[in-house]
Structure 1
């Protein structure tokens, strides 16, 4: 009772009224919108220059590879230095990249080679920004506020995914240089928000000298923590198998017999479901049986994938994708909160870097897996197999990771304490 009275009873409800969290939220919103509209312009411009779909695929690969190469370094840097300085430095570099792309586009000397160079630089910068920004959040709010804060931060990401592509598409009418200029302004605003960000609690920094052990500590910590290992690997395999969104163009044209407007509705449906769910979780955070809730959400994700797979009616397909996005957001919020709360502060950068790469790998490989399976079984067979595979993963993981299955509350003091002990060793 004494611990509860140490802070206001309605403190979690006030998380968005806290100026520090608002600065964090708007910084995340601006940097994500800036990135989203930039990628829209890159895709349009690359295809206009090359008229080659393979080059579009290479853009994603070139951007993803730096996160693999810089995985160990980025997490280590996030744990050793001031995370605010790292994040705003990354955002300023992203603004400079966008300015360079704008100048190159306005001047007319942009080529596919330059786009690959810029995209690789952007991928390397985001390899540092993404895990550091995630690790920064627990220093902005209290542990009690964190579940709501994670949900609200996720809502910023989903809002950006909805707003960004539309804004980028409209702005591209005026030319790619205009889009890159808007992106540079948004990255600059995000950096300003982080520059004025005040922390509620001082973060713990890594003081041990650089060694193989400290570099690989993120992998070691996840492997030694069954709850984190189960949550992260569950998301990895569920997204890897259930990547129905990669086949949306085929479904829109050949199965639902709709045009580009229908494809746009299909693409926005998961983000709408995710945004509504994130806002709901921000007001109604999960308090009990969070492990089973997470598994249930992933199972619903699998069922929704299968419903989408067999649907030949656009409204039903959109509804299935809305449910898919909503269930995925529940899993994301639970996993993200567990990663933050069960990881000591001086480990959050390295653990977050591993988690970020796993998420990126699952998305990239999931699209590849869906394409290969669709070539063999057709799009409907590929989606149905992916949904069924997700259900099988849920059943297997509930048996393999009983600590995650039986996890009751997000904030488990005993688990957090054992994590600190593991770090000390």
Structure 2
């Protein structure tokens, strides 16, 4: 007789998770993905704060969110093809480097006290594009790191990390 925690395969939930976490490549990838999710949530809060500090306008904040969202959604189909065609690890490195570069430029402009709203608009558009390229590569990379029988559990863990990052990120940013 199976307990409520067991699956059709006869292993407990925590047993399946421990099997996944014993795989070093996935463990490091999951830890990196968790950190990236917190960073992304932090980034959204800080950029929103920057828009409000720069303009004082909630309409401008809405426009920045729109300028991020449209390219993010528009490029997803292309991004999925690129994630399948190119080495996913390289796609992730390039996109994370792109995010770093964009946010570093925005931070430098802000610290120099020369940031203008058009800088934030531009960063939002490019962040939307870069993040759309990142997401399919990140999600499909999981299948490269685990055995097929552990894939569903690994994808669930990766998605849990993304959602946990959305919860943890804003308080980390000070919001």
Report whether the alignment pairs 1:129 with 2:139. Answer: no
Give the TM-score normalised by structure 2.
0.86
CA contact (8 A) 2:16 2:153 kept: no
Indicate the residue corresponding to 1:40 in structure 2: 45
Indicate the residue corresponding to 2:5 in structure 1: none
Per-residue displacement from partner, 1:38-66 (whole Å, max 9, x unpaired)?
11111111012212111111111100111
CA contact (8 A) 1:12 1:144 kept: no
Superposition pairs of residues 97-108 of structure 1, within 5 angstroms? 97-108=102-113
Moved over 4 A (4+): none
Indicate the residue corresponding to 1:90 in structure 2: 95
What is the SS of the residue equivalent to 2:148? Answer: coil
Unpaired runs of 5+ residues, structure 1, are 5-9, 171-425
What is the SS of the residue equivalent to 1:144? Answer: helix
Superposition pairs of residues 229-240 of structure 1, within 5 angstroms? none
| Rounded Cα–Cα distance in structure 2 between residues aligned with 1:95 and 1:127 | 15
| Rounded Cα–Cα distance in structure 1 between residues aligned with 2:164 and 2:77 | 30
Q: Give 1 or 2 for the bigger CA radius of gyration.
A: 1
Aligned pair in 2 of structure 1 residues 104, 147: CA closer, same or farther (>3 Å)? same
Report whether the alignment pairs 1:169 with 2:174. Answer: yes
Q: How many residues align?
A: 162
Indicate the residue corresponding to 1:140 in structure 2: 145
What is the SS of the residue equivalent to 2:149? Answer: coil
| Rounded Cα–Cα distance in structure 1 between residues aligned with 2:118 and 2:57 | 14
What is the RMSD computed on CA atoms of the aligned residues?
Answer: 1.8
Instruction: Tell me by how many angstroms 1:144 deviates.
Output: 1.1
Instruction: Tell me by how many angstroms 1:163 deviates.
Output: 1.5
Unpaired runs of 5+ residues, structure 2, are 1-8, 10-14
| Rounded Cα–Cα distance in structure 1 between residues aligned with 2:123 and 2:109 | 11
Report whether the alignment pairs 1:72 with 2:82. Answer: no
Give the TM-score normalised by structure 1.
0.37
